[in-house]
Structure 1
Amino acid sequence: MLCVKCNYINDSNARVCSNCGHNLLIEESFDEINSKHVKNQNIVTSSQSAEEAEEVSNKKWSMVLILCILLGLIGFHRFYVGKGGTAILMLLTFGGFGIWTLVDLVIIALNEFTDEDGRKIKRNKNSIAEVA
């Protein structure tokens, strides 16, 4: 319950504000305000968790796919997404003798390939048209 005196959020069954000691029972008319505050707080929390769960890279999926197909043996697609260390390893081993490149192709096709910050590189509706 929201205390109108100090704006502290108390438990819903609290009778006295745990912050300032104000009597919350007098504020029965403010129940509507309290319920709106709790609803708004829940909306903010759910929208933040949705944004955190879906972090998408700004790199183009189609570009990563094309680079992997054409220059995958030298790890150029990994340079593009910022993974310089593994890109150099691919360059020195010719894409793990081709196996590493094939694995990356599958991962890119499944939308599980990530950039240097761990954000997924997702295919959007226009990506397939860009490749063709």
Structure 2
Amino acid sequence: MTQGTTEQAAGQGQTINVNVNSGGGSRYMTMSSEKRRKTALLLCLALGLFGGHLFYVGRYGKGLLYAMTGGLFVIGPIMDTIAISSGSFKDNAGAPLREW
């Protein structure tokens, strides 16, 4: 018998999925951000030099750094575009962004 529950983290904007298999199997917990990859990618392409995608996912310190340095001299948004496209880009809590 498998039980699944979904809980909303208080004030975090994240969904935590819990699956408990009572047959002695595995237990796992996944966490995903409420932020979408498509929105982050569009912001990175349009406002990457100013850190728009970083402000969107809640990484304000790095967003401010991008805004002051032109996206770390243009290299940062290029690397972030690749990370967002591959699915390895994370929000401020370290959760991967939601699918497209």
Task: Give the TM-score normalised by structure 2.
Answer: 0.73
Alignment coverage as a number of residue pairs: 80
Residue 63 of structure 1 is matched in structure 2 by 39
Structure 1 segments, 4+ long, off by >2 Å, are: 39-43
Give unpaired runs (5+ residues) of structure 1: 1-38, 128-132
Higher strand share: 2
Q: Percent identity?
A: 32
Write out aligned runs for 1:1-12 (5 A).
none
Higher relative contact order (CA 8 A, sep 6+): 2
In our comparison, the structure showing a higher alpha carbon Rg is 1
Superimposed CA distance per residue, residues 54-95 of structure 1 (whole angstroms, 9 cap, x where no aligned partner):
321110111000000000000010000000000000000000
The alignment partner of 1:121 has SS state of: coil
Unaligned residue ranges in structure 2 (runs of 5+):
1-20
Alignment of 1:38-57 (within 5 A): 40=22, 42-43=24-25, 46-47=26-27, 49=28, 51=29, 54-57=30-33
TM-score w.r.t. length of structure 1: 0.56
For the aligned residue pairs, the C-alpha RMSD in angstroms reads 1.6
Residues 1:102 and 2:84 are matched in the alignment: no
